[in-house]
A and B are shown apart, each in its own frame.
Chain A
């Protein structure tokens, strides 16, 4: 059974850092593209980052997080990560990891999602 479990969220001050993890079971991360999608409280969905199945050679970010966020993975741990630096109030929300159906560019539909982890940026 495919499962994605996020962790690492919490309360952080503006300008601070946080690293989110997404542990995958039931499939190999190295065979699929993966994404981070966030949702601000009471708002809609916003795609954040993409990591292709080939790893660091295929990475994309939305403009507002470029230079601040970094997506990576550890194939031995079958885990995806999102390192977030210089956090802003507007980065607050639930962060989901989501699996892409294929390894295409742009990312395609997302067939499995984790339960999400809440990041709150506030002083």
Chain B
């Protein structure tokens, strides 16, 4: 199975900050990577797919980059509604696998 490793596990940031989350794959996954946001008690919400394509309706402060084994999710100007847990997901191979999550907390 392809292992997905996110860093950091927890991130403390203030409103307005630029936040970056990293996701590393144990082998190359080309650009077959998605990012999700999950708030407590809610289902995950798709933010970005194919590494850098923004899902419709997602604010432009979210962006994604990377290919191969290293990927980043950036939030440019953190908003109060962005405090949540973020997961990366590879879909290059079965089984589809997720990172362990990065919790973005209020500083």
- Asked if A106 and B96 sit within 8 Å, CB to CB, the answer is yes
- Asked if A108 and B43 sit within 8 Å, CB to CB, the answer is no
Which candidate, A12-20, A40-48, A72-80, is the interface stretch facing chain B?
A: A40-48
Minimum CB–CB distance for A95 against chain B, Å: 11
Q: Given the complex, which residues of A lie within 8 Å of B96, measured CB to CB?
A: 35, 47, 50, 106-107
- Interface size class on chain B is 20 to 34
- Asked if B49 and A108 sit within 8 Å, CB to CB, the answer is yes
Among B32, B87, B92, B95, chain A packs the most CB atoms within 10 A around the CB of B95
Query: How many angstroms from the CA of A114 to the CA of B44 in the assembled complex?
Result: 9
Query: How many angstroms from the CA of A37 to the CA of B104 in the assembled complex?
Result: 22
With A44-B87, A44-B100 in contact, is A62–B95 under 8 Å at CB? yes
Instruction: Check: B97 CB closer than 8 A to any chain A CB.
Output: yes
With A96-B43, A101-B49, A115-B43 in contact, is A109–B34 under 8 Å at CB? yes
- Interface size class on chain A is 20 to 34
Among A44, A50, A106, A113, contact of B98 (Cβ-Cβ < 8 Å): A44
Q: Which of B18-39 contact A (CB under 8 A)?
A: 32, 34, 36, 38
Query: How many angstroms from the CA of A60 to the CA of B95 in the assembled complex?
Result: 8
Query: How many angstroms from the CA of A62 to the CA of B98 in the assembled complex?
Result: 13
Instruction: Check: A55 CB closer than 8 A to any chain B CB.
Output: no
Q: Which of A104-123 contact B (CB under 8 A)?
A: 105-111, 113-116
- Asked if B101 and A44 sit within 8 Å, CB to CB, the answer is yes
A-contact bits for B48-63, CB 8 A (1 contact / 0 none): 0110000100000000
Q: Show 18 A/B contacts (Cβ-Cβ < 8 Å), sorted by A.
A: A44-B100, A45-B36, A45-B38, A45-B89, A45-B101, A46-B98, A47-B98, A60-B95, A96-B43, A101-B49, A106-B94, A106-B96, A109-B46, A109-B89, A110-B34, A111-B55, A114-B43, A115-B43
Report A's interface with B, CB cutoff 8 A.
Answer: 35, 44-47, 50, 60, 62-63, 96, 101, 105-111, 113-116
